[in-house]
Homo-oligomer: A and B are copies of this chain.
Amino acid sequence: MPPRFTQVASALPSTVPFVGPETRERETGRPFKARLGANESVFGPSAEAIRAMERAARDAWMYGDPENHDIKTALAEFHGVRPENIVVGEGIDGLLGYLARLFIEPGDIAVTSDGAYPTFNYHVSGFGGALAKVPYDRDREDLPGLVAKARETGAKLVYLANPDNPMGTWIEGRVLAELLEELPDDAVLALDEAYVEFAPKGAAPPIDVERPNVIRFRTFSKAYGLAGARIGYAIGHADLVGAFDKVRNHFGVNRIAQAGALAALSDAAHLDMVVGSVDRAREEIVRIAGSHGLETIPSAANFVAIDCGRDGAFARRVLAGLVSGGIFVRMPLVAPQDRCVRIAAGTEADLERFAAEFGPALEAAASAD
C-alpha cells in the first residue's frame, strides 16, 4: 500500500500558480533583456535596506526573531495600530496560505474575481475549498457583485485586490468602506493592497482594526523592492491576526528580510523616488501603446495593461512575440481582460527594449491571422 495522502491532497492537480522567468531562460539558454512580467520593482531596494541586509548576512547563523518584533513594532507605529494588529509573514503569498488554512475546509467557499490573483485560488483549492468567481465589470473588480456573491454562497472568504492585479484599476477607499457595510459579518474580506503605495491618495480606506472581518495585506515586495527577501504583513483585528500564531511557521521570516524591511520602511525618500519613477514609467508605457494606436487601462499599480485591441488569441500572440524577443511580460488569463498584455514599470532602458520589440510583436501577431 502506498503512502496515504489526505483526500484533499490526492485530488489536487500538480499545477503551479506562476512559472518563473528563470524557467524560460533555462529553456531558451538566453537571459531576458527586460524583466517586466512579475511586477517587481526594477528601481531596487533602498540603499539603506541593502546595507542592512549585507550586515545581516554575516549574522545569518542566528535564527530570525520568531516574533518579528522590531519590524512589527515599526509597522504598528507606521500604521497607527498596535503590534497585536499585525502579523508578519513570508510575503503575501505565505500569509494568504495561512488565511486559507484558518478558514477553508472541504466544502467551504471563497469569492474572488474571475481572473484575479491565481495564488489566492491556489491556496483555497489547496485546502479543499471551492471558488465562486465574479466577472470583472469594465476591467474593475465588481465590488457589489463580490458582496452579493458572498451573501448568495455563504462564502467564508472574499478576496479583493485594490489596486487590482492584473488590470491595475482601483476603487476609492470611501466607496470600499461603504460596501464593507454590506458584507456579511461572517465573511472575512482579504483586502490585498500589495500595490497601494503606487495608488492615488484615497485608494486605501482608513484602517479600522476593530472590524473583526477585514484583513489587509501589505508587502515589501513591490514599492520597497524586496520581492526576493520574502516579507509581507497583514493588518486586522487582534483576534483574527492572533489566530495566525496557531498555524504559522514561527521561524519562517528570514533574519535578512527582517533587517532589510526595517531599514526600507524608514527610507521614505527612496519610496518617493520609486513612486515617482513608476509614475513616469506608466506614462511612457501609455505613450508607447499610443504610438501603435492602442489604449491602456488606467493604472494605480506599478504596471500598465495595454489593450491590444482584439481578442485573447491575438494578445497571446503578442505576448509570445515579446517573450521570444527577450521581454519577460505576463497577461491576464480570463476574457475579456485577456485582450491585454501587462507591462511592469521598467527603467528607461527596459522600456526602450520593450518598445523595440512591441511593434514587431504586434505585426507578427497580426500577420498570423
Please determine whether A228 and B60 come into contact, CB atoms closer than 8 angstroms.
Answer: yes
Chain B residues near A97: list those with CB within 8 A.
249
Within 8 A of B (CB), among A236-279: 239-240, 242-243, 245-247, 249-257, 260
Interface size on A, residues (CB 8 A): 88
Given contacts A126-B246, A226-B60, contact A105 B7 (CB under 8 A): yes
Please determine whether B67 and A57 come into contact, CB atoms closer than 8 angstroms.
Answer: no
Given contacts A4-B186, A53-B256, A240-B3, contact A228 B64 (CB under 8 A): yes
Within 8 A of B (CB), among A1-49: 1-9, 12-14, 16-20, 22-23, 26, 35, 38, 40-45, 49
Asked whether A62 is an interface residue with its Cβ less than 8 Å from the other chain, the reply is yes
> A residues engaging B (CB < 8 A)?
1-9, 12-14, 16-20, 22-23, 26, 35, 38, 40-45, 49-50, 53-54, 56-67, 69, 90-91, 93-94, 97, 101-105, 108, 126, 156, 184-186, 188, 212-213, 221, 225-230, 239-240, 242-243, 245-247, 249-257, 260
Known contacts A12-B246, A22-B65, A229-B256, then 18 further A-B pairs from the complex at CB < 8 Å, ordered by chain A residue: A2-B239, A3-B240, A5-B243, A6-B105, A17-B250, A23-B67, A40-B61, A40-B63, A57-B260, A59-B228, A60-B260, A61-B227, A63-B227, A90-B90, A93-B250, A97-B249, A230-B252, A256-B257
